[in-house]
Amino acid sequence: MLSQPVLASAIISLLALLLYTYMGINVGRMRGKHQISAPAMTGHPELERAIRVHLNTLESLPALYVSLWIATLFFHPGGMPILAWLPPLLGLVWIVGRYLYLQGYMQAPDKRGTGFGIASIAQLLLILLGFIGVIIDWMAMNGT
């Protein structure tokens, strides 16, 4: 049976995908609103912002998924099982950050910073947890 943090990371993965899907729908909405047919990628600043949000999120999803799952599978401090919840919690923070990024960027490009910063910090912390977990397991396997 899977642990609760592993199931939580699965839910976070699906929520991130749902947010990304919503961003894609937003691109379609902006195309319709401004009557700009595909494959055009320019034509109205609101469409261009929606496209940038969508593509930038696509660019960051692989890093989220890899770091989330490595951290989830390897970061499991024995003495403090509550810390095993950090990876899915940071994944949730990433989602909130990307949503704030979407909201800010759609208002004006210079308002995207807060959401971008929140998501970036969560991403870096997930990478760090992944490294810590892998190193601890590697050391345990090698008796060091």
For the chain, domain boundaries: 4-135
- CA–CA distances in Å: residue 115 to residues 27, 32, 96, 119: 19, 26, 8, 6
Task: Count the Cβ atoms, other than its own, within 10 Å of residue 81.
Answer: 12
- CA–CA distances in Å: residue 40 to residues 7, 20, 22, 32, 47: 40, 20, 20, 12, 10
- DSSP secondary structure letter of residue 121: H
14: left (phi over 0), alpha (psi -120 to 50) or beta: alpha
Give the model confidence (pLDDT) of 2-32 as tens digits.
Answer: 789 999 999 999 999 999 999 999 999 999 9
Give the model confidence (pLDDT) of 109-133 as tens digits.
Answer: 999 999 999 999 999 999 999 999 9
Q: pTM higher than 0.75 for the full model?
A: yes
Could you name the CATH architecture of 4-135?
Answer: Up-down Bundle (1.20)
Contact 118, 93 (CB under 8 A): yes
